[in-house]
Chain A
Amino acid sequence: MAKHHPHPVVDLRTSPYIRRAPSVDQIMRNVVYALLPVCAFSVYLFGISALALMLVTTLSCLLSEQFFCWMAKKKSTLPDFSAVITGLLLALTLPPGFPLWMGAIAGIVGISLGKILFGGIGCNVFNPALVGRAFVQAAFPVAISTWTPTFAANRFSEFIPSTLALPFMTPAATAEWSKTVAIDGFTGATPLALMKFEGVMVRTSDLFFGTTAGSAGETSALLILLCGTYPVARNMMDWRLPASVILGTAICAEFFYLLDPASYPTPLFMILSGGLMLGAVFMASDMVASPVTPWGIVLYGLIIGLLTVLIRLFGGLTEGVMYAILFANAASPLLETFTQPKVFGGDK
């Protein structure tokens, strides 16, 4: 019999060989880094109004989070950066000339109704930024569908007239202003609205590089994709999620396109226009509100894509990404139950 050694010579450990998982604030910080180029590009396109909007929404998100932490006598949750993401994403989904006071309200509602009410970070059922946006969409339907042109003259020295509306007051009309600053004929319509109401298609390359009218950050598909690769490469986001959103959109759009190419747009147009890219990469991937099971993620993405196309083609609104994601958020606990992986060796 071999003599039993009290101290083994070789230190053997069983699997799993886990490295320390990134902490919440690490992930959130990295998502903020990934968002910064998108923000910078939108400031380049729309000028200081977009910048002011971002600052206001972020600040209102941070302040409301701090306020509720203080009310609940909890430790401040500001350092986890999640409120910063909410604020930035919110600003990116709003029109660049959105009145600042409305932006602040969107931030307050998003944080209080979308996040704190459910128990704060880690407990939210819906993406807080989208809750805020859905609220202002319903509250101020005119302001949220007023678009301004890109590359406006003096965009770095003067605000869009509607931006500085006094709190609780109706913003100034921007139609005249838009015509004077736009380089060529500006109709005040986003590519999706042009498609829906006028039957006009915007060139795909314009969509790809993002020089069309739209929300502050939803214009350049290419840039958003590039930025999205960063958290994916750092293993902080599941690439299958955005991929399946895009796939779902493509399948559904292709179906209608094949039915009648004359009246329905191409799948490529659907994918590149509106807020789909931003939604797919940064909105749908909200870590708390999306499923965690592998097949759940895929199903979740496909549902978002499918619903987006259906709302865009047949709904009353031109853009459907927001409602599609909110709906899929609500469905994600159900998706997780359906797609629970089998425990190895467990019941068949």
Chain B
Amino acid sequence: MPEATRSETPMNLEIFTAGLWRENPVFVMMLGLCPTLAVTNSVINSLAMGAASIFVLVCSNALVSALRHFIPRQIRITTYIIIIATFVTMVDYIIQSISLDLYNALGAFIQLIVVNCLILGRADAYAAKNPITRTVLSALGMGLGFTFALVCLGGVRELLGAGSLLGFQIFSSNYQPWVVMLLPPGGFIVLGCWLLLFNWLKQRKTSRLIAAEEAIDHSRQIETT
């Protein structure tokens, strides 16, 4: 049984940090790009979207994990969607009760968390196969990784597009804003640049690993001869 073998592997921080960096939902797995491109025109929107997504991701995945033995495979996607939709509706009301301004700024994208493939994907790929503590840990990592990516985009876009960060003016008042950064094309361009950076970092890391392994092989060969 795969589950037995999984449970044997020790609980470690790796489950949590995977989502942050190595399997980052946006920069590595390219999941949930719709909200990533749509709401990241300011840092505060990115943070709010990230927080809402973390809530939905953690709660729905925990519930899926708790019910994983109970849900028949044939109707699992239907069940997951119902569970996710429940938490999305809840977060919708909660944000309205926290701040109407924030709710208005995020527009329809709060409701659209329900179709964020990151959440359904994690429910099916991880929560359905793992115990609840691991699931929560992993979902938290994934959610924070998602928020990190949103803030990366939101930061660049707000800085260039409005000359501010979190609403505080960073550049002098004479700064010329790059309007395009606040518009949808800016989202695509900034996402492209971040992906470029991440892939470059990854490539550099792998090529270094390969070089290191080759060096070890080489030294072994010398030893044997």
Interface residues of A (CB under 8 A from B): 102, 113, 135, 138-141, 143, 165, 168-171
Q: Decide if B189 touches A113 in the complex (CB within 8 Å).
A: yes
Q: How far is the CA of A143 from the CA of B174 in the complex (A)?
A: 14
New A-B pairs, 14, CB < 8 Å, besides A140-B179, A169-B176: A102-B176, A135-B180, A138-B179, A138-B180, A139-B180, A140-B176, A141-B179, A165-B176, A168-B171, A168-B175, A168-B176, A169-B172, A169-B175, A171-B176
Q: A170, B175: Cβ atoms under 8 Å?
A: yes
The interface size of chain B toward A, counting residues with CB under 8 Å, comes to 12
Scoring A102, A143, A165, A170 by chain B CB atoms within 10 A of each residue's CB, the highest score goes to A170
Q: Is B183 an interface residue (CB 8 A)?
A: yes
The interface residues of chain B lying within 8 Å CB-to-CB of A171 are 176
**Closest residue of B by beta carbon distance from A102:** B176
Q: How far is the CA of A165 from the CA of B172 in the complex (A)?
A: 14
Contact present for A170 and B176 (CB under 8 Å): yes
**Assembly CA distance A102 to B185 (angstroms):** 18
Closest A residue, CB atoms, query B176: A170
* Residues of chain B within 8 A of A140, CB atoms compared: 176, 178-179
B181 at the interface (CB under 8 A from A): yes
**Which residue of B is nearest A136, CB measured?**
B180
Residues of chain A within 8 A of B172, CB atoms compared: 169
Nearest residue (CB) in B for A138 is B180
Are A138's CB and B176's CB within 8 A? no
Chain B residues whose C-beta falls within 8 Å of the C-beta of A169 in the assembled complex: 172, 174-176
A170 and B183 CA atoms in complex are apart in Å by: 19
What 4 A-B pairs come out closest when comparing CB atoms? A138-B180, A139-B180, A139-B178, A170-B176
The reply to whether A138 and B174 contact each other, CB–CB distance below 8 Å, is no
Decide if B171 touches A139 in the complex (CB within 8 Å): no
Smallest Cβ distance from B177 to chain A, in angstroms? 8
Q: Quick one: which of B172, B178, B183, B189 has the most chain A CB within 10 A?
A: B178
